[in-house]
Structure 1
């Protein structure tokens, strides 16, 4: 895929992994739309990216109408949509007997249903432009752990969903990949990045990985990528 004049959309693009990917794509010369639930947060991230080729969009991926409107706004601004990165996610952790209905629903609605909403809203653009769809899952999508029942369920679902979508969309020359990171320096689960996070994967590392994926020969499709820190803390 030539990156010249390409348009990308990143959900959850205001910080962490989403922001790291957005920065890498802006630096690679793409036009980039980022979304988040609060427009003020998205506008701040746009300012931090420092490019005129960035569009800030307010969208809650758990609401399909929001994603439909976001895609329409992107196409109205840039004329098309080539690359979609479903990154928005939340995590609520605790033993299953203490996991609330609200926390379960928040994870399933955002992490899993939100990924579907993002693809459903953009799939015709991707088909028309022979585009690329990438979901950001987690190693929690293959490795279960105590206290992670809801999060595991959502991320196992993202992996299965994206792999099945890959089989559906390859017939339209749409490439589909799910990236499954391990420990990443981010604001996830209200974490504040600090010097102790130096051993982790950095958001810009995943940004570079996305650029590398987009630059691969069109005949090559890494459909599922597990990525870990080189060392543990």
Structure 2
């Protein structure tokens, strides 16, 4: 796939991994739509990516609501006329022993991390059939490695991995490629982290962006359907 003038939609693209991916894809020649729950934040993030507003779009969408995602995809098609790549990146994490995990935090993770990737695909699948496009989910190494205090987060990320792998089989007949990326520690705002020098050992958001470029430009006969990526060396404590 030549990336020039292709259109990508990135959920949760106002900061962190999503924003880093958006930067790399924009510099690779793509037109980029990013969404967040707050319209002002999405528009500010879009404007900070480039002054050329013909190549970027900031959208308000809550991925827990299918109607929001339907409207987001419509806005993208209205502006750009096509949709070639969808990156389901929006996610949240709450960590506590299961006897202390609050029900509303469990539900928020299920609604965002799991229902959200379904809503994003459901809203965009017809456009991806038209473009013979690519659907990518951002899962986590927590989708294959369980750990204490993460029962809810593990449940959603295990679910995202299983969902994506099954969807890959469903959509191959339409020439839609589907992959899931499973990062380890990333220098992002996840779990209320403020990225800084202390995170230099971690994967950087732009590293995930470069990985997405590799996926999109790979020969069409080849599909890396599940990718684990981690820091090359752990933190020295």
TM tier, smaller: over 0.9
Q: Which of the residues 68, 71, 90 maps onto 1:69?
A: 71
Q: Secondary structure at the match of 2:35?
A: strand
**Corresponding residue for 1:150?**
152
SS at match of 1:229: coil
Question: Structure 1, residues 72-130: CA drift from partner, whole Å, max 9, x if none?
Answer: 00000000111000000000000000111100000000000000000000001101110
Q: Distance in 1 between matches of 2:47 and 2:80?
A: 18
Q: Which residue of 1 aligns with 2:215?
A: 213
Number of the residue aligned with 2:187: 185
Which of these residues, 163, 167, 173, is aligned with residue 161 of structure 1? 163
Once the two structures are TM-superposed, the CA of residue 4 in structure 1 deviates from its matched residue by 2.4
1:194 Cα shift? Answer: 1.2
Match of 1:39 in 2: 39
- Residue number in structure 2 paired with 1:128: 130
**Alpha-carbon displacement from aligned partner over 1:20-47 (angstroms, at most 9, x marks no partner):** 0000110001111000000111111112
SS in 2 for 1:97: coil
Q: What is the CA–CA distance in structure 2 between the aligned matches of 1:225 and 1:16, rounded to whole Å?
A: 19
Q: How many residues align?
A: 233
Query: What per-residue deviation string (whole Å, max 9, x for no partner) do you get for residues 42-88 of structure 1?
Result: 11111210142100000000000000000000000000111000000
Please list the CA deviations of residues 170-209 of structure 1 after superposition, one character each: whole Å capped at 9, or x if unmatched: 1100000000000000001111011010000000000000
Provide the C-alpha distance between the structure 2 equivalents of 1:105 and 1:149, rounded to a whole number of angstroms.
12
Aligned residue for 1:10? Answer: 10
Q: 1:153 Cα shift? A: 0.3
Unaligned runs of 5+ in 1: none
Alpha-carbon distance between aligned partners in 1 of 2:70 and 2:46, rounded to the nearest angstrom = 21
- Structure 2 residue 111 is the aligned partner of structure 1 residue 109: yes
Give the 3-state SS of the residue equivalent to 2:234 in structure 1. Answer: coil
Q: What RMSD over aligned residues (CA atoms) do the two structures have, in Å? A: 0.6
Structure 2: tracts of 5 or more residues without a match: none
Once residues 95 and 33 of structure 1 are traced to their aligned partners in structure 2, the CA distance between those partners, rounded to angstroms, is 37
Q: Does 1:194 align with 2:196?
A: yes
C-alpha separation between the residues in 2 aligned to 1:135 and 1:18? 11
Over 3 Å off, 4+ runs: none
What residue in structure 2 maps to residue 49 of structure 1?
49
Structure 2 residue corresponding to 1:60, chosen from 56, 59, 62:
62
Partner Cα distance (2:4, 2:92) in 1: 33
Distance 1:5 1:20 in 2: 19
Q: Give, in whole Å, the separation in 1 of the partners of 2:130 and 2:166.
A: 20
